[in-house]
């Protein structure tokens, strides 16, 4: 059932789609009116005994997954979680992520996605920006103890809204996820949850200040995954290997985990991103599709040459989240014997895929075309006027799975969207007559380190807290391995000071910042070059490095 309220801008907290667009998206069948928790129920009936999820030696059929999620729902309800509660989830690629995610959705609680690499600064921000009541973590992952992080985020009186910490594994003083499982719990339905409701909050790569939260509804997120599944021709025989973090939109829903489950396929979770692990799982589970970021590609080439793995089941290697160099793209198919698919997407919505039957030249030199016929694309110059095909301009977009505004961010929304609802991506692209996009640069103040997004102003804010630093600018410089690496230009208070990369990493680490955001190089300058309006001239800083 579709209620009238769904057609209104949804709540004060985030602007939804205008009524006439919402109606069109439903009429065209993009929004199917089924919640994600309800879909798991449908899949359990349709695909019952097929394998849904594989995590190491543990396997769940669709029917088992559905029952296990209900068992967890019962425990989460007993704990006091309610519809509308926000819950920060920071789990790595383990089956518990899938269990927790669907259990929260069935209750109508909102998973807020954190990445495994996030630390105190990011988690405090996520908890406070969403006013989360619970935080769900593993005990340890990659030699880091998340229980200590859970203690740390509350140490300074921060995160007062947080009532529960739930741990997958050894819980210590916290609530154990295993203890929340209520065997043989009844199937849980909550008719009050509608497909047009907020389902999850994703973290934006960001442009300025603290990263924003991205509202995604059940309807739009399911379509996000379904359109991807179509672009990849997924079916019940598809086996998707999750290598990048499962909380990342690319891995979860492009088409990823969700797109695979939609068609009755099997999801295999990789415990680490190493090519050795990936190759072992591909051969063992007969994986048909997986997704990686550009820095992993040369590692795949090297490991392939070294170990001659059996990749015969693999049909599609998706590469995205940062620009894949054309010459590397051209080497994928001849080297690995697998079809390349470039993916250019964003947590905000719009996804572009090269199609499986595209000419090779388009697959190796473009980042794909929009997944939905109703993705609207504008490429504009600085004044907002459209540029002709082939010319670079900023990409603006609007469509059935692209947000119309961030969560609780009216001021930012006023600048991040046009008056008619187009999202300003901050990406510079060239559009070809075929509709394929080539990413040529960026107008947002962000560094893309091989797919990991770093908001310059966020890191600069922390650098300026250092007693020896009087001015700081973080810029991305071209890097062989990462595509771009974050470089800090610093003006010291005392000209004799010199801070090393290690010292800065330690300083930023103490301030609770994720390690991947730390500068990989430090360049001291006497004064910052300024633009005519008095802002730090980052282009001049980049140019100065080529003159060195």
Q: Which residues would be at the binding site for ligand OOB (CB under 6 A)? A: 205, 249-250, 254, 320-323, 342-347, 351, 367, 425, 427, 439, 442, 448, 453
CA angle 423, 424, 426 (to 5 degrees): 140
Rounded Cα gap, residues 393 and 405, in angstroms? 22
Helix (H, G, I), strand (E, B) or coil at 200: strand
DSSP 397: E
Provide the minimum distance between the beta carbon of 93 and ligand OOB in the complex, in angstroms, as a whole number.
16
The answer to whether the CB of 512 falls within 8 A of the CB of 121 is: yes
262 backbone dihedrals φ, ψ, rounded to 5°? -55, -30
Identify each DSSP E strand in 279-326 by its residue range. 289-292, 316-320
Tokens linked to 372: 């939905």
Cβ closer to ligand OOB: 93 or 342? 342
Provide the minimum distance between the beta carbon of 259 and ligand OOB in the complex, in angstroms, as a whole number.
11
SS3 of 464-526: the string is CCCCCEEEEEEEEEEECCCEEEEEEEEEECCCCCCCCHHHHHHHHHHCCCCHHHCCCEEEECC
Cβ closer to ligand OOB: 281 or 329? 329
Q: Which residue is nearest to ligand OOB (CB)?
A: 345
Provide the minimum distance between the beta carbon of 350 and ligand OOB in the complex, in angstroms, as a whole number.
8
Provide the minimum distance between the beta carbon of 461 and ligand OOB in the complex, in angstroms, as a whole number.
20
Q: Which residue has the tokens 């939109």?
A: 249
Cβ closer to ligand OOB: 163 or 325? 325
Cβ closer to ligand OOB: 35 or 425? 425
Provide the minimum distance between the beta carbon of 55 and ligand OOB in the complex, in angstroms, as a whole number.
23
- Using omega within 30 degrees of 0 as the cis cutoff, is the peptide bond preceding 255 cis? yes
| Displacement of CA 52 from its chain's centroid (Å) | 22
Rounded Cα gap, residues 340 and 329, in angstroms? 8
Sign of CA dihedral 172, 173, 179, 181: negative
Cβ closer to ligand OOB: 428 or 491? 428
Rounded Cα gap, residues 487 and 476, in angstroms? 6
Provide the minimum distance between the beta carbon of 343 and ligand OOB in the complex, in angstroms, as a whole number.
5
List, in sequence order, the alpha helices (H) in 28-133: 36-47, 62-79, 95-107, 120-130
Cβ closer to ligand OOB: 54 or 322? 322
Provide the minimum distance between the beta carbon of 16 and ligand OOB in the complex, in angstroms, as a whole number.
20
Cβ closer to ligand OOB: 38 or 392? 392
Rounded Cα gap, residues 401 and 498, in angstroms? 48
CA angle 309, 313, 317 (to 5 degrees): 85
Provide the minimum distance between the beta carbon of 394 and ligand OOB in the complex, in angstroms, as a whole number.
11
Residues 6+ apart with CB under 8 A from 173: 147
List, in sequence order, the alpha helices (H) in 190-248: 218-231
Helix (H, G, I), strand (E, B) or coil at 377: strand
Provide the minimum distance between the beta carbon of 132 and ligand OOB in the complex, in angstroms, as a whole number.
20
Per-residue burial over 62-101, b if 16 or more Cβ lie within 10 Å, else e, is bbbbbbbbbbbbbbbbeeebeeebbbbbbbbbbbbbbbbb
Cβ closer to ligand OOB: 266 or 318? 318
Rounded Cα gap, residues 225 and 331, in angstroms? 28
Rounded Cα gap, residues 108 and 191, in angstroms? 10
Provide the minimum distance between the beta carbon of 212 and ligand OOB in the complex, in angstroms, as a whole number.
11
State the helix-helix crossing angle for 296-307 and 275-285, rounded to 10 degrees.
Answer: 60
Provide the minimum distance between the beta carbon of 213 and ligand OOB in the complex, in angstroms, as a whole number.
12
| Displacement of CA 536 from its chain's centroid (Å) | 29
Provide the minimum distance between the beta carbon of 251 and ligand OOB in the complex, in angstroms, as a whole number.
8
């Amino acid at each position: 059932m579709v209620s009238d309220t769904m057609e209104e801008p949804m709540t004060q907290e985030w602007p939804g789609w205008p009524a006439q667009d919402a109606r069109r998206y439903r009429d065209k069948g993009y929004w199917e009116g089924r919640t994600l928790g309800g879909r798991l129920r449908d899949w359990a009936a349709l695909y019952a005994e097929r394998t849904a999820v594989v995590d190491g030696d543990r396997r769940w059929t669709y029917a088992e997954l559905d029952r296990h999620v209900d068992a967890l729902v019962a425990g989460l309800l007993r704990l006091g979680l309610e519809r509308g509660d926000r819950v920060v989830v920071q789990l790595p690629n383990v089956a518990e992520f899938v269990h927790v995610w669907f259990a929260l959705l069935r209750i109508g609680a909102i998973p807020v996605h954190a990445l495994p690499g996030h630390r105190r600064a990011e988690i405090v921000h996520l908890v406070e920006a969403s006013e989360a009541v619970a935080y769900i973590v593993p005990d340890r992952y990659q030699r880091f103890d998340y229980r200590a992080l859970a203690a740390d985020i509350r140490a300074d009186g921060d995160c007062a809204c947080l009532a529960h910490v739930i741990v997958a594994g050894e819980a210590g003083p916290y609530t154990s996820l295993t203890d929340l499982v209520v065997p043989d719990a009844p199937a849980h339905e909550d008719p009050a949850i509608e497909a047009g409701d907020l389902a999850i909050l994703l973290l934006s790569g960001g442009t300025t200040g603290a990263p924003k939260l991205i509202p995604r509804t059940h309807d739009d997120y399911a379509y996000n995954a379904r359109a991807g599944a179509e672009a990849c021709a997924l079916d019940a025989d598809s086996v998707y290997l999750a290598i990048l973090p499962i909380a990342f939109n690319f891995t979860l829903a492009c088409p990823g985990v969700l797109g695979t489950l939609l068609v009755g396929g099997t999801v295999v979770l990789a415990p680490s991103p190493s090519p050795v692990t990936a190759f072992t799982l591909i051969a063992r589970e007969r994986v048909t599709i997986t997704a990686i970021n550009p820095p992993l590609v040369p590692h795949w080439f090297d490991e392939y040459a070294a170990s001659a793995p059996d990749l015969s089941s693999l049909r599609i290697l998706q590469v995205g989240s940062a620009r894949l160099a054309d010459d590397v793209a051209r080497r994928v198919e001849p080297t690995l014997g697998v079809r390349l698919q470039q993916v250019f997407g964003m947590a905000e919505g719009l996804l572009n895929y090269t199609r499986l039957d595209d000419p090779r030249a388009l697959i190796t030199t473009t980042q794909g075309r929009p997944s939905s016929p109703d993705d609207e694309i504008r490429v504009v110059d600085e004044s907002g006027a459209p540029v002709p095909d082939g010319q670079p301009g900023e990409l603006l977009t609007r469509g059935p799975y692209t947000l119309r505004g961030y969560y609780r961010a009216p001021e930012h929304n006023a600048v991040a969207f046009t008056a008619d609802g187009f999202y300003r991506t901050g990406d510079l692209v060239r559009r070809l007559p075929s509709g394929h996009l080539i990413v040529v640069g960026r107008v947002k103040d962000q560094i893309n380190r091989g797919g990991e997004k770093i908001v310059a102003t966020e890191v600069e804010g922390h650098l300026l807290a250092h007693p020896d630093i009087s001015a700081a600018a973080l810029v991305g410089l071209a890097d062989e391995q990462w595509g771009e690496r974050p470089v800090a230009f610093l003006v010291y208070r005392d000209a004799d000071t010199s801070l090393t990369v290690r010292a800065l990493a330690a300083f930023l680490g103490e301030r609770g910042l994720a390690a991947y955001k730390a500068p990989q190089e430090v360049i001291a300058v006497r004064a910052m070059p300024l633009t005519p309006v008095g802002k730090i001239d980052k282009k001049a800083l980049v140019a100065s490095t080529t003159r060195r």
